[in-house]
Amino acid sequence: MYPITRKLFLYHVVLLAGSSTQFVEARTIYKGTVSLSYMARLYSMKVFTSGKKVILENKYNKLEFETNSRRSWINGVMVWLHHPCRKSSAGWGLQEVDFKTGFDPILRSYAYVPKDTPRLVVIDPGHGGKDPGATGKNKVLEKEVVLDISSRVKKHLESKKIAVRLTRTGDTYPTLDQRNDYARKVGADLFISIHADGVESPDAHGVETFITTATGCDSSNHYGQAGDKTAQRNNQFDPANAILGFSIQSNLVKMSKRSDRGLRRARFSVIKKASCPSALVECGFLTNPAEESLLNSVSYRENVARGISNGILGYFTLVKRGRKQR
Interacting span for Zn ion (CB under 5 A) from 70-78, 130-138, 206-214, 258-266 = 130-138
CA-only gyration radius of the chain, Å:
19
Q: Where are the beta strands (DSSP E) in 139-237?
A: 163-166, 190-197, 207-212
Q: Which residues does residue 9 pair with via DSSP β-bridges, in sequence order?
A: 26
Of 15, 13, 113, the residue nearest 61 (C-alpha) = 15
Site string for Zn ion, 68-107 (x = CB under 5 A): ----------------------------------------
CB-neighbour burial class of residue 268 (10 A; exposed 0-12, middle 13-18, buried 19+): buried
Single residue of 118, 133, 307, 322 touching Zn ion by CB under 5 A:
133
Site for Zn ion (CB under 5 A): how many residues? 3
Interacting span for Zn ion (CB under 5 A) from 95-103, 188-196, 228-236, 245-253 = 188-196
Which of 82, 195 has the CB closer to Zn ion? 195
Q: Which of residues 256-295 bind Zn ion (CB under 5 A)?
A: none
Which of 147, 243 has the CB closer to Zn ion? 147
Interacting span for Zn ion (CB under 5 A) from 152-160, 177-185, 195-203, 245-253 = 195-203
Task: Please tell me whether residue 195 binds Zn ion under the rule CB under 5 A.
Answer: yes
Q: Evaluate whether 79 touches 246 at the Cβ level (below 8 Å).
A: yes
Whole-number minimum distance, CB 296 to Zn ion, in Å? 16
Of 325, 263, 288, the residue nearest 135 (C-alpha) = 288
Whole-number minimum distance, CB 124 to Zn ion, in Å? 10
Task: Please tell me whether residue 179 binds Zn ion under the rule CB under 5 A.
Answer: no
DSSP-based helix, strand, coil % in the chain, nearest 5: 35, 30, 35
Which of 190, 280 has the CB closer to Zn ion? 280
- Helix (H) or strand (E) run with residue 162 in it: none
Return the sign of the alpha-carbon dihedral for residues 16, 45, 326, 80: negative
Whole-number minimum distance, CB 194 to Zn ion, in Å? 9
Whole-number minimum distance, CB 326 to Zn ion, in Å? 38
Task: Please tell me whether residue 168 binds Zn ion under the rule CB under 5 A.
Answer: no
Q: Which of residues 20-39 bind Zn ion (CB under 5 A)?
A: none
Which of 118, 126 has the CB closer to Zn ion? 126
Q: Are strands 190-197 and 91-95 parallel, antiparallel or unpaired?
A: unpaired
Q: Which of residues 107-126 bind Zn ion (CB under 5 A)?
A: 126
**Helix, strand or coil, per DSSP, at residue 25:** strand
CA dist., res. 114 & res. 282, Å (int): 25
Which residue ranges make up the site for Zn ion (CB under 5 A)? Answer: 126, 133, 195
